[in-house]
């Protein structure tokens, strides 16, 4: 029984790692997975075999994450790879993404669900363009916790001076970004210093090892428990004898807390009612909050369907058809078109939208705005755009709520997902 | 009042899976659940019941039957279908063979595992299913680590791993042209351990072959294969009676057993947590080449 209790005490931390081939990212992930006993013998044997066949000197841990044929052939990570490991404290989901600029869209995808980002810096090279780009993407996607791992400390004689200089450089750059929580950890992924165990080679460093930090970083306040929002996903109508009049509004709580008796308002109709009950197959609940999937029943019979939003009368989301957002473009086949029409998906709704204006795009390396002449937003570009939606949207700013503040754009002819947007 | 407003990780995964299942019902016209009788698909069905409770889940179950089954699995399947009042559709690989749609493999390691793909695609087409929910997890296999929750398949049922739709936040794009379909994987973020712990927590029934039992087996390429009417035992092989259990449930010709005395869920969980091999390490179908899973998935496999 105690075994189960422990397992049920674990919470979940999603983090992202972005990096390029030679900065030691795969070694770091490999080290975390090895030392937490997540890599299995048959996996290790398989990558040993492939490494030998490829002529690599050491076991190439990248082969663990690079699963697709094309990735193995070209020796690069193309896509986001999801990896899992657990300690008795937490379960971790790693979104491992390639670091080069041509994979910005993959980094954005991986970052969209992460609570924490690990940025790797080569101690010999210090802060480079790529570090800045990754930090910018992490803050743009509202990742609240950033860990700057200064790697390859073994190659700079575990020098405190080198470490301090990199920390200062990064702090100077980061002052232009809005980062809630930054930590700095000097590591050697290859030698295992400060990854799982604290290293004796850097007595001047008084912080925790990386794994300890990942296990203990407090992620509670990241979710919005203030603004009650339930985007209705599905209306449950059993039509059975036993539940004849049951009409449950099913969905995943996107923010705030709902309790039986709470006064609620339904958008777009504006009708108000009270929460009658919060139902699950395991029994009724006293309250529901993000990210629970529940079904609410209301005191009054109101016409509610998928795409409607249940909120509270004194705390409504914004309602509007002119949406200002930061957009990251994903499609290699086409660029964002001025006056272009797309399908916009937001919470559980889909509608048409029109591109009204492209204000500027951002040079993701320097953070400079590019707004001269005709600004074209193409593959991997990030820019500020205004959209006109065919119907009013019920939204919060992305800063306030990741669920009700995010959208994707879909090409109406090819059905491909062409962009992701964060509402300002 | 002290309040943390946090969910433990299994509740988090459960909520995510329920969200995905409700999205599936909402975004597609004719979804189905692929049900093998294995532990992962048992968990999917349980989550689907939770997602639409107190109404019935709006998905029939589809079983692609190679004909090479462990009896226990089929008995379990039929009992479960009756208990929850689900609709079951069975696609028989034998029918595909009889119709000349596929040719049975020959040789020692002959398996109907690959043939399932044709039967699966034919069954989806026959019943006009536009989405099929499966229990695959990203931690199972390296090609599966790149899967989406909503995975697009072209009109030939093929997966294009290099041209997958980006999936951000919880915004899933299930739009498609006619003739195309989707595979949906609500357990994407679950690990083998999560599935076992969830089965224990929810007190779900699973087929007996997951627990230790005496069985006749032969050892072939490091895998213990059950001696059944479908397995050709070679002259060089010795049939032995051993205490075994299965970590995955699949076609009887390619699913290996492991030696184990784990007779209860608790014992199985301890064994899984101490395991040094992945669960698919007992699958001969994955051992055919380094990218065997990716190659089968591209063609439309589960």
What is the ipTM metric for this complex? Answer: 0.92
pLDDT the model gives residue B280: 60
User: What domain count does chain B have?
Assistant: 2
Question: What is the DSSP secondary-structure string of A295-352?
Answer: EEEESS-----TT-EEEBTTBPPEEEEEEEEEEEE--SS--PPTT-EEEEEETTEEEE
pLDDT the model gives residue A267: 97
Residue B168 lies in a domain: yes
Residues B153 and B282 in one domain: no
pLDDT the model gives residue B107: 77
Residue B162 lies in a domain: yes
Residues 121-180 of B with CB under 8 A from A: 138-139, 141-146, 161-162, 164-171, 173, 175-177
CA distance A153 to A159: 7
A420 CB within 8 Å of a chain B CB: yes
Cross-chain Cβ contact B166/A420 below 8 Å = yes
Residues B138 and B252 in one domain: no
Residues B217 and B272 in one domain: yes
Residues B20 and B68 in one domain: yes
From the CA of B21, how many Å to the nearest CA of chain A? 10
Residues B190 and B220 in one domain: no
CATH of the domain at B160: 3.40.50.620
The larger pLDDT score, comparing residue A345 to residue B146, is at A345
Q: Which of A350, A94, A412, A53 is nearest to B26 (CA)?
A: A350
Residues B169 and B282 in one domain: no
Residue B38 lies in a domain: yes
Asked if A64 contacts A43 with a C-beta cutoff of 8 angstroms, the reply is yes
pLDDT the model gives residue A1: 40
> Closest residue of B to A407, CA-based?
B171
Residue B72 lies in a domain: yes
CA distance A300 to A303: 10
* Residue linked to tokens 């970052």: A111
Provide the whole-model pTM.
Answer: 0.92
Residues B179 and B256 in one domain: no
Distance (Å) of CA B153 to CA A28, B98, B299: 34, 26, 10
Residue B239 lies in a domain: yes
Give the dihedral sign, CA B209/B210/B214/B215. Answer: positive
Q: Say which range, A344-348, B36-40, B292-296, has the weakest mean pLDDT.
A: B292-296
Residues B191 and B212 in one domain: no
Q: Is A125 helix (H, G, I), strand (E, B) or coil?
A: coil
Query: Three-state SS across A170-215?
Result: HHHHHCCCCCCEEEEEECECCCCECCCECCCCCCCCCCCCHHHHHH
* Mean of pLDDT values over A73-88: 75
Residue A352: how many CB atoms within 10 A of its CB? 13
pLDDT digits over A355-397, tens only? 999 999 998 888 889 988 788 899 989 999 999 999 999 999 9
Q: Which of A211, A180, A186 is nearest to A201 (CA)?
A: A186
Residue B1 lies in a domain: no
DSSP A58: S
B233 exposure class (CB count in 10 Å sphere: 0-12, 13-18, 19+): middle
Torsion of CA A152, A156, A159, A161, to 10 degrees: -100
Torsion of CA B154, B160, B165, B171, to 10 degrees: 70
Mean pLDDT of chain A: 89
Residue B17 lies in a domain: yes
Q: Is B42 helix (H, G, I), strand (E, B) or coil?
A: helix
Residues B108 and B77 in one domain: yes
Residues B114 and B218 in one domain: no
Q: E strands within A42-163?
A: 81-86, 90-98, 116-122, 145-151
Which of the residues A88, A234, A406 would you substitute to probe the B interface, choosing the one with the greatest number of B C-beta atoms within 10 Å? Answer: A234
pLDDT digits over B174-191, tens only? 999 988 999 999 999 999
Residues B276 and B295 in one domain: no
Distance (Å) of CA B126 to CA B129, B130, B201: 8, 11, 37
Residue B201 lies in a domain: no
B19 CB within 8 Å of a chain A CB: yes
Residue range of the domain that includes B28: 9-195+291-299
Q: Is A46 helix (H, G, I), strand (E, B) or coil?
A: helix
Enumerate domains of chain A plus CATH numbers. 2-222 (3.40.50.300), 230-311 (2.40.30.10), 318-423 (2.40.30.10)
Side-chain half-sphere CA neighbours of A175 within 13 A: 5
Residues 224-283 of B with CB under 8 A from A: 266, 269-270, 275-278, 281
Residues 102-161 of A with CB under 8 A from B: 105-106, 108-109, 112-113
Residues B143 and B19 in one domain: yes
Say what percent of chain A tops pLDDT 70.
90
């Amino acid at each position: 029984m105690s075994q189960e209790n422990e397992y049920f005490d674990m919470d979940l931390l999603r983090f992202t790692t972005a990096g390029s081939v030679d900065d030691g990212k795969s070694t770091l992930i490999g080290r975390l997975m090895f030392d937490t006993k997540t890599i299995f013998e048959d996996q290790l044997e398989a990558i040993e075999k492939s490494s030998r066949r490829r002529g690599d000197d050491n076991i190439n841990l990248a082969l663990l994450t690079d699963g697709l044929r094309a990735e193995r052939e070209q020796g690069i990570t193309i896509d986001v790879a999801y990896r899992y490991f657990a300690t008795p404290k937490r379960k971790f989901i790693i979104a491992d993404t390639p670091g080069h600029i041509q994979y910005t869209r993959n980094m954005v995808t991986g970052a969209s669900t992460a609570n924490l980002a690990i940025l790797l810096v080569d101690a010999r090279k210090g802060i480079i363009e790529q570090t800045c780009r990754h930090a910018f993407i992490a803050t743009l996607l509202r990742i609240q916790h950033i860990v700057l791992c200064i790697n390859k400390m073994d190659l700079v004689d575990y020098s405190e001076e080198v470490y301090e200089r990199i920390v200062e450089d990064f702090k100077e750059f980061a002052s232009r970004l809005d980062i809630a929580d930054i930590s700095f950890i000097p590591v050697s992924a290859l030698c295992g210093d400060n990854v799982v165990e604290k290293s004796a080679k850097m007595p001047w460093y008084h912080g925790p090892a990386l794994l300890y930090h990942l296990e203990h970083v407090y992620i509670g306040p990241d979710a919005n428990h203030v603004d009650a929002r339930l985007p209705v996903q599905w209306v449950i109508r059993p039509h059975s004898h036993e539940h004849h009049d049951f009409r449950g509004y099913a969905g995943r709580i996107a923010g705030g807390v709902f309790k039986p008796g709470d006064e609620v308002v339904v958008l777009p109709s504006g009708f108000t009612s009270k929460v009658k009950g919060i139902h699950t197959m395991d029994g009724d609940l006293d309250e529901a909050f993000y990210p629970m999937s529940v079904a609410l029943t209301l005191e009054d019979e109101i016409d509610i369907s998928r795409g409607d939003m249940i909120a509270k009368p004194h705390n409504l989301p914004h309602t509007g058809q002119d949406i200002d957002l930061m957009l990251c473009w994903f499609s290699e086949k086409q660029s964002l078109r001025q006056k272009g029409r797309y399908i916009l998906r937001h919470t559980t709704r889909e509608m048409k939208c029109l591109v009204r204006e492209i204000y500027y795009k951002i040079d993701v390396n320097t953070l400079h705005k590019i707004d001269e002449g005709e600004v074209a937003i193409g593959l991997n570009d990030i820019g500020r755009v205004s959209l006109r939606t065919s119907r009013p949207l019920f939204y919060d700013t992305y800063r306030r709520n990741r669920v009700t503040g995010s959208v994707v754009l879909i090409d109406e002819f090819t059905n491909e997902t062409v962009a992701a947007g964060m509402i300002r | 009042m002290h309040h943390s407003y946090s969910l433990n990780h299994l509740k988090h995964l459960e909520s995510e899976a329920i969200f995905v299942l409700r999205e599936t019902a909402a975004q597609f016209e004719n979804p189905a659940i692929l049900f093998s009788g294995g532990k992962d698909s048992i968990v999917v069905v349980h989550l689907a019941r939770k997602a639409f409770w107190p109404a019935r889940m709006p998905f029939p179950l589809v079983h692609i039957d190679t004909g090479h089954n462990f009896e226990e699995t089929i008995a379990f399947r039929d009992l479960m279908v009756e208990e929850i009042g689900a609709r079951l559709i069975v696609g028989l690989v034998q029918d595909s063979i009889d119709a000349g749609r596929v040719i049975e493999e020959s040789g020692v390691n002959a398996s109907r595992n690959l043939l399932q793909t044709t039967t699966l695609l034919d069954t989806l087409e026959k019943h006009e299913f536009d989405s099929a929910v499966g229990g695959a997890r990203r931690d199972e296999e390296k090609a599966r680590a790149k899967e989406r929750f909503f995975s697009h398949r072209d009109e030939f049922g093929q997966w294009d791993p290099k041209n997958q739709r980006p999936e951000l936040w919880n915004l899933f794009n299930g739009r498609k042209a006619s003739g195309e379909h989707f595979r949906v994987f609500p357990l994407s973020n679950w690990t083998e351990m999560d599935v076992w712990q969830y089965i224990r927590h929810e007190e779900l029934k699973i087929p007996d072959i997951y627990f230790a039992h005496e069985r006749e087996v032969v050892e072939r390429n490091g895998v213990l294969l059950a001696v059944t009417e479908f397995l050709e035992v070679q002259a060089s092989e010795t049939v032995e009676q051993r205490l075994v259990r299965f970590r995955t449930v699949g076609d009887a010709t390619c699913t290996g057993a492991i030696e184990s005395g784990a007779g209860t869920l608790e014992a199985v969980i301890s064994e899984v947590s101490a395991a040094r091999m992945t669960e698919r390490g007992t699958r001969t179908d994955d051992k055919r080449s380094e990218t065997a899973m990716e190659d089968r998935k591209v063609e439309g496999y589960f």
